[in-house]
Amino acid sequence: MAEFFAAHALLPTGWAANVRIACDAAGRINEVTPGAAPGAARRLRGHVIPGIANLHSHAFQRAMAGGAERRSPAGRDSFWTWRETMYRFALSITPEDAEAIAAQLYAECLERGFTQIAEFHYLHHAPDGSAYADRSEMAQRLFAAAATTGMGITMLPSLYRHGGIFGAPPHDGQRRFLNDLDGFHAILERVRATAAAQPHAAWGVAPHSLRAVTPAMLEAMAALDCPIHIHAAEQEKEVEECLAATGLRPVEWLLRNTPLDRRWVLIHATHMTAEETRALAATGAVAGLCPSTEASLGDGIFPLPDYLAAEGRLGFGTDSHVGICPAAELRQLETSQRLALELRSVATDEARPHPGRGLLERALAGGAQACGVAMGGIAPGLRCDLVELDDEHPTLVGRQGDGLLDAWCFGPADRMVRSVAVGGQVVVEGGRHIREGAIRENFSRTMKRLGA
């Protein structure tokens, strides 16, 4: 049993002072007492917020973040030219590389306040496309990285079979991703067993996109009682291809042909009509936004005002990991809206006048739902994930409550987190992961071998 004493903590009812937080041996909060004495509890001097779920990650892409920026010979670069670079890079990753890269990523995410990560995992096979002896070898490496760092993980093995809408042949660069249903279920069976045995681990499935699976495959995924993540409407070209093949836009097709509900997470959902936006919000599904990656890849801007007006659920991921900070993702979403609409404080209303607080609360609820984990709040029954902000950081000093959250999201500088606990276990001290040295050394060796 662990106990913490927070000078200021964000509870479901709002900010409270002198909060004693106790958790059981499994890492679940069993008591929250505002106005308490610290006693022997570990003292957290800064403002404390709940740990945040990162709902979309391709961990191996951390090793190419910042390395795919050079203009291609043909010019007119886009998501589709970036994708070719990613395919080539993916062919070089060994299982050992995958584990070292993921550990570095997870440590960096923990240092910034993410405490659960949803791995949309499609790098399944050997570089020649053959299966490893343990078909879940690459997934097991990501589980190991999560165990090393203390990161909670929701493993989402991705079903990927085709290279275009409903049956087009796959690209040769996709050969490490490909499975039929039997191969996919063999991976999923092992993933489920590992998730059951590892602390703070969960599982779900990820039919990659309408480009990569058939309607029959989607039907098989929809029969499972777990989180179901799918890329949808990220690029205009994707929308055009879906219209040409089916007569419907991607989100429109999913709304008409799949039982969208709270299990589902539509990653990106960038290009929706007003009708699609309202209809998606009504399903209770989560829109999984990755603002830094969407900006990096030139995806477009999510229709946030209409979606919030329809009371849609959303959460945040870091996807290709050009950004790895939850505050930066919240900021990128809000500021992209400001540029598009020539307005300020877009993600606010009368009940939520501070965009930092409003976006954080949505990220906490939507991320927990998307990951299938009882987290996202400082309350009994939830996992004891605590993020202590550094009130002495120049950007935060002298600020309180919701004003401090605005400064965390929209002020200058990074690394404004002092300590982090996952399931009551402290994994970040003084702003640094407790195993930072060894993790970074392994990552550096990997990057030098890859020539990244």
To the query of whether residue 414 is one of the catalytic residues in this protein, the response is: no
To the query of whether residue 390 is one of the catalytic residues in this protein, the response is: no
- Residue ranges of alpha helices (H) inside 59-180 are 79-90, 95-112, 137-149
Residue 323 DSSP one-character state: -
End-to-end CA distance of the chain: give it in Å, rounded: 43
Closest CA to 126 of 163, 88, 91: 91
Count Cα atoms within 13 angstroms, Cβ side, for 76: 1
3-state secondary structure (DSSP) of residue 22? strand
Residue ranges of E strands in 105-261: 114-121, 152-159, 201-203, 206-207, 228-232
Query: How far is residue 235 from each of residues 57, 254, 294, 320, measured CA to CA in Å?
Result: 18, 16, 10, 16
Phi first, then psi, for residue 23 (nearest 5°) are -130, 160
**Residue-wise burial string across 256-288, b where 16 or more C-beta atoms lie within 10 A, e elsewhere:** eebebeebbbbbbbbbbeeebbbbbbebebbbb
**Gyration radius of the chain over CA positions:** 21
Q: Which of 56, 200, 231, 319 is catalytic?
A: 319
Task: Count CB-CB contacts under 10 A for residue 307.
Answer: 21
Closest CA to 210 of 188, 237, 189, 186: 237
Q: Which of 229, 268, 393, 433 is catalytic?
A: 268
Write the DSSP string, 358-398: HHHHHHHHHHHHHHT-S-SSSSTTSB--EEEE-TTSTTTTT
Task: Count CB-CB contacts under 10 A for residue 343.
Answer: 10
Active site residues: 268, 319
